[in-house]
Amino acid sequence: MQNFWPGRRIVIGVCGGIAAYKIGELVSTLAKAGADVKVVLTSSAEQFVTPLTFATLSRQSAHTDADFWHRSAGRPLHIQLADWAEAIVLAPLTANTLGKLAHGLADNLLTNLLLASTCPVLLAPAMNTDMWKQPTVQRNWQQLLADARYWSMNPSSGRLACDAEGPGRLPEPAAIATQLMALLWTKGIPDWTDRRVLVSGGGTREFLDPVRFIGNPSSGKMGWAIARAARDRGAAVSLVHAPLSLAPDANHLDGIATVEVQTAAEMRSHLLEQFPQADFTFMAAAVGDVRPTTRAATKLPKSDLPAQLPLETIPDIVGELSQKQQPRQKLVGFAAQTGDPLPAAIAKLEQKGLDAIVANPIDRPNRGFDSRDNEATVISRDGRQIAIAPCPKLLLAHQLLDFAKTL
């Protein structure tokens, strides 16, 4: 399962808003990844981006209202597309199309396609801030979301093309793609709804003085991936993280409660505070094992640096959480190892009383710390194992969540 996208059948419906130009990036990304992408434009969308643009990026014809009565295999186009689609993305979703869908209206190719289909639909609205805040628009939005078939992405905030400031910006194409992955992975069923998930991520830093520290190369990408996958599948997620090198924007962390820390002591404090409320805790952070016994308040001159650095052991956070664990809670640890990661991971699983552990090698090309991809073996307390082949960390996160549901 190294690539999630080949063969996926996706219809992208583009409505008439200035953000329509951003959808070219989404179409191109999915098509290059191997997805079968078909674009349907409303007549208003054609005023912003031409069908030729999307046809070029998707490697196949883009459809407009002029094609409404075109018959494919003896059937109207909207019926053929409705039966073909595995998922539909509406981006940007305008107030006009939102209102039509909320009231079951269909007066163009896109809205007829939506009413004729039964697959899950991802909604990514974008419009002027005052339009988005209108009570009628919000009523239509809530009415549409009452249908379990629809998955939502709230618009992000910022300066809009009309110079307004506030909510109304289209979520970034990368964020839409990751939400679409969750929708397709679960076949449109948010299977982590009503679960509270706590995730730790990143590498802690233990300071000798304000500019020097003992640390590790963890980027926090694995913790971010677990938090994002759980959030996209309906969970209430908290992420306690050391500095992240991926620099996620608001679209990537929207809806995730985040706390940034530096040291293991800070991470321990926040995890202990939030742990009692968590149903599942994933300890993906690379927490330091030792720290300097003293920390200077000002930068030490080079001549004052100690020839031997006195160190002390950092308390074991995951072991402490295990001691406080309630029967309803599940605790998943991580073991980043060189060589064969399994013996050390199994020992850690048993010693710390975890429900499961994720063993991943960090000495193989493009794996582990600060890489886009990872591979792992997940081991449960009762001895079950699954091997996850090398894949993007977000895809690994979805497979880990599937396994965690069986604990």
Percentages of the chain per state (helix, strand, coil), in multiples of 5: 35, 25, 40
CA 176 centroid distance within chain: 9
**In which element (H, E) is residue 23 found?**
helix 23-32
Are the beta carbons of 62 and 39 closer than 8 angstroms?
yes
CA-based nearest residue to 81, from 112, 51, 124, 44: 112
Burial class (CB in 10 A: 0-12, 13-18, 19+), 46: middle
CA-based nearest residue to 270, from 316, 307, 239: 239
Beta-strand (E) ranges in 146-285?
Answer: 150-152, 156-159, 165-169, 196-201, 206-209, 212-214, 236-241, 256-260, 280-283
CA 5, 6, 7, 13 dihedral sign is positive
CA 7 centroid distance within chain: 21
Q: Show which residues are catalytic.
A: 162
What's the CA gap between 271 and 287, in Å, rounded?
A: 12
CA-based nearest residue to 172, from 228, 130, 215: 228
Beta-strand (E) ranges in 49-93?
Answer: 71-72, 75-76, 87-93
287 CB-side CA count, 13 A: 23
| Locus of tokens 């289909």 | 117
Beta-ladder partners of 387: 377
